[in-house]
Chain A
Amino acid sequence: MERETGVWRLVFLALPLGVFTVLVIWPLASSFYYSFTNWNGFSDNFEFVGFSNFNKLWTDKLFFNAAVNTAIWMVAAVLIPTLLGLGLALLIDSRIPGGPVFKSIFYFPICLSAVVVGQIWIWIYQPDWGLLNVAIGAVTGSSPDFAWLAKPDTALGSVIAAWAWQHTGLAMVIYLAGLTSIPEDLLEVCEIEGASTWQRLRVVIIPLLTPATVVVVALNVINSLKGFEILYIMTGGGPFNSSDTLAMHMYNESFKKYLMGYGSAISVVLFIVALTIIGIYFRELKKVDEIYG
């Protein structure tokens, strides 16, 4: 019996593990290998160059720029959808009519592709007839033609707004699920103890949403780390690298300049960042589990 089970395990796992090993695990491992080489993407002749790719990171101003942008991008791309999503969830949860409709409206952008979202927002920021300039014009009475995506000061922020628009709904639905899992009697205790709306929110609801918050933040961190496509579509990292992120920089170095070795070194850095975040996530998840079960 036990032997038979062992055979079935092997049969069931062979294909999934094979595919996963060849297309995920092995490439991950060889990324480390390539980061120590000067492979250019075509020739089979490449050399082992030790730590020189990593040393180059320290002197690469563009890498530093991309790292800073990635940090800004991640902080904003995590905070804004999380806070907006929480706010929307609290509003929708207050039993107003049309809740499901509102939910769908705020959530549907998640099913659009980065390309389409980028397209939509390029139009919003269009200098001549973009909605943003039109709206500002309508309010101020002037006719601005500010090119939001073409100015280094506003490019990254503009993409972040588009990103937030698409991802707020995700945070919202997770918070809504979290809100429904708060036991009714805990809220009744608040009523009996005479908590004000604000106290109820601060002392009870938001702390009780901690499991949802951990998930929302983790998801946003992960997604924002992957957030390459929308930057590629909307700004391509420009102007003057003002919206260049690590993922973008890695793409440019590898597939534009064909410095695959150096690109691998950047992806190793990305990997370490992601690994750190996963570590923190699982630790927090365990802590939250301790309290909330």
Chain B
Amino acid sequence: MARLVLDNITKSFGTVQVINGIDLAIAHREFVVFVGPSGCGKSTMLRMIAGLESVSGGRIVIGDRDVTHVAPSKREIAMVFQSYALFPHLTVAENIGFGLRLANTPKAEIDRQVGEVARTLQIEQLLERKPRHLSGGQRQRVAIGRSIIRNPKVFLFDEPLSNLDASLRVQMRLEIARLHQRLDATMVYVTHDQTEAMSLADRIVVFNAGRIEQVGTPIELYEKPANTFVAGFIGAPSMNFIEARIDSSGGAPIARFGPASIPLADAERRFQPGGVTLGVRPEHILIAEGRTPDFTATVEIVEKLGAESLVYLQTGFSPDPVTMRVSPEHPVKPGDSLPLCLDQNRVHCFASDGAAI
């Protein structure tokens, strides 16, 4: 069983604490993605799991073993680096078989295992080449090959696709997903790209400023963000935030912003009178066709993306433009005044401290 447990992990460099008490349990075979802006501590956390960085406090358990103070090579992990970290002087075969060679494995056995891995990754024809003569995608495959051959309990990926161009990134993403399906291993994957996180993860861990903001499946994070940070980080284009006031004078709470007001009928939510932040995803702003609009807005810019169009709106109540999605056939153009309404069941509310209500 290759579960991975992080128990109150802290890390400081000098007096600066960069990881503030991380608790996380990752199940066997789970694909977990650490996501967050740069400098949020996600990479440091991954490197502590690998043992490349020492922990300042807390425990790391892999399987049933406390590996907090175990050397990296004894942790039964493998790591894929952003830069691929291939040895320029070794051929592809030698790079993949590097660990076996260090362990003085017989040549024939190394060849057999390297051949097998190369077949899985379809890089058999590259085995005699040096890394310099490989493309980015091929290099990344070799790096993955070097980690597969270790047969680790946990795979660690540190932004493995950041150095690839966009189309290749999508292709490699699929391959990593396939790899996870085929291998009987736990995977921890670090990225700053929320699309990558959403598409790969069983569960996503959102990091910010050295702590975990939220842990959940991609859909949970998308539909029930715990706070404005997660709400703003997950989903592209980002969620719109609108400052509003709560008016409970009429019984059921109503959020008022600008000329508009929407009922917040939800028995479970408790509202204090005062300010809230409403969160509305671009797809939950609708053109009021035949209905009474909640408000009207002026179209500033239209981005035609093909499958959809993004419309940036000027409103009287929000200093930032509000984004909405429309179908590509919609004849909207800059300067148009649009009657709009909100999908009231999908409106998120956040208290002044950012936490979801």
Judge A-B direct contact (beta carbons within 8 Å).
yes
Write the residues of chain A forming the contact surface with B, with a CB cutoff of 8 angstroms. Answer: 183, 185-186, 188-189, 191-196, 199, 203-204, 207-208, 210, 290-293
Q: Which residues of A contact B130 (CB under 8 A)?
A: 291
Across the interface, name the chain A residue whose C-beta is closest to B47. A188
Contact status A207-B85, CB under 8 Å: no
Determine whether the beta carbon of B98 is less than 8 Å from that of A193.
Answer: yes
User: Is B333 in contact with chain A by the CB < 8 A criterion?
Assistant: no
- Listed by A's residue number, 16 A-B pairs whose Cβ atoms lie within 8 Å are A183-B85, A186-B85, A189-B79, A189-B81, A189-B98, A192-B52, A192-B72, A194-B71, A194-B72, A194-B99, A194-B103, A196-B102, A203-B101, A204-B87, A208-B89, A293-B88
- Does B50 count as interface, using CB distance less than 8 angstroms? yes
Bound together, the chains give a CA A189 to CA B88 distance in angstroms of 13
Within the complex, what minimum Cβ distance (angstroms) separates A67 from chain B?
Answer: 36
Chain A residues whose C-beta falls within 8 Å of the C-beta of B87 in the assembled complex: 186, 189, 204, 207-208
Point out the residues of chain B lying under 8 angstroms from A196, CB to CB: 102
Interface presence of B78 (CB below 8 A) = yes
Binary contact track B84-99/A, C-beta < 8 Å → 1, others 0: 0101110000000011
Contact, CB under 8 Å: A189 / B71:
no
Residue in contact with B73 in the complex, picked from A183, A194, A210, A292, CB distance below 8 Å: A194
> Would A191 and B52 count as touching, CB distance under 8 A?
yes
Q: Which residue of A lies closest to B133 (CB)?
A: A290
Chain B residue numbers with a CB within 8 Å of A208 are 87-89
A188 CB contacts on chain B under 8 angstroms? 50, 52, 72, 79, 81, 85
Q: What distance in Å separates the Cβ of A156 from its nearest Cβ neighbour in chain B?
A: 36
CA–CA, A9 to B104, complex, Å? 60
Q: How far is the CB of B322 from chain A (nearest CB, A)?
A: 43
The answer, yes or no, to whether B178 is at the interface (CB within 8 Å) is no
Which residues from chain B contact A189 at a C-beta distance below 8 Å? Answer: 79, 81, 85, 87, 98, 146
Contacts of B74 in A (CB 8 A): 194
Partner of B88, one of A191, A193, A195, A292: A292
Residue B83 CB within 8 A of the other chain: yes
Q: Please measure, in the bound complex, the distance between the C-alpha atom of A203 and the C-alpha atom of B102, giving whole angstroms.
A: 9
Closest to A193 in B: B99
- Judge whether A195 and B132 touch: CB under 8 Å: no
Contact B79 A195, beta carbon cutoff 8 Å: no
In the complex, how many residues of chain B place their beta carbon closer than 8 angstroms to a beta carbon of chain A?
A: 25
Task: For the complex, give the distance between the alpha carbons of A151 and B267 in Å.
Answer: 105
Q: Report which B residues bind A (CB closer than 8 A).
A: 50-52, 71-74, 77-79, 81, 83, 85, 87-89, 98-99, 101-103, 130, 132, 146, 150
A191 to B79, CA, bound (A): 11
Task: Given contact pairs A185-B81, A185-B85, enumerate 6 new A-B contacts (beta carbons under 8 Å).
Answer: A188-B85, A189-B98, A193-B73, A193-B102, A291-B88, A291-B132
Given contacts A193-B102, A195-B102, is CB(A210)–CB(B132) below 8 Å? no
Which residue of chain B has the shortest Cβ distance to A200 in the bound complex? Answer: B102
Determine chain A's interface SS by DSSP, over half rule: helix
Assembly CA distance A108 to B99 (angstroms): 41
Q: A183-B85, A204-B87 are in contact. Are A192 and B102 (CB under 8 A)?
A: no
Q: How far is the CA of A204 from the CA of B50 in the complex (A)?
A: 20
Known contacts A192-B78, A194-B73, A194-B74: A185-B83 contact under CB 8 Å: yes
Q: A186-B87, A203-B102, A291-B89 are in contact. Are A192 and B79 (CB under 8 A)?
A: yes
Q: Which residues of A contact B101 (CB under 8 A)?
A: 203
Chain A residues closer than 8 Å to B81, beta-carbon distance: 185, 188-189
Cα distance A67–B50 when bound, in Å?
57
Whole-angstrom CA separation of A199 from B100 in the bound complex:
12
Residue in A188, A193, A290 whose Cβ sees the most chain B Cβ within 10 Å: A193
* Chain B residues with CB below 8 A from A199, complex form: 102
Is the Cβ of A192 less than 8 Å from the Cβ of B88?
no
**Nearest CB of chain A from residue B52's CB, rounded to whole Å:** 5
**Which residue of B77, B83, B89, B103 is within 8 Å of A192 (Cβ)?**
B77
Residues of B within 8 Å of A293, CB to CB, are 88, 132
Please, which residue of chain A has its CB at the minimum distance from the CB of B147? A192
Q: Give A291 Cβ to nearest chain B Cβ, in Å.
A: 6
Cα–Cα distance between A204 and B101 once the two chains are bound (Å)? 12
- Residues of chain B contacted by A204 (CB below 8 angstroms): 87
B72 touches A191 (CB 8 A): yes
Interchain nearest-CB distance for B293 vs A (Å): 55
Question: What's the minimum C-beta distance from A257 to chain B, rounded to whole angstroms?
Answer: 51
On whether the beta carbons of A191 and B71 are closer than 8 Å, the reply is: yes
The CA of A293 and the CA of B85, in the complex, are separated in Å by 15
**A292 neighbours in B (Cβ, 8 Å):** 88-89, 132
Instruction: Among B77, B78, B89, point to the contact of A207 (Cβ < 8 A).
Output: B89
Q: Which residue of B lies closest to A204 (CB)?
A: B87
Cβ of A74 to closest chain B Cβ, rounded Å: 27
Complex alpha-carbon distance, A124 and B66, angstroms: 59
Contact between B73 and A191, CB atoms less than 8 A apart: yes
Cα A194 to Cα B77 with chains together (Å): 11
A194 to B72 Cα, complex, angstroms: 7
| A188–B132 CA distance with the chains assembled, in angstroms | 20
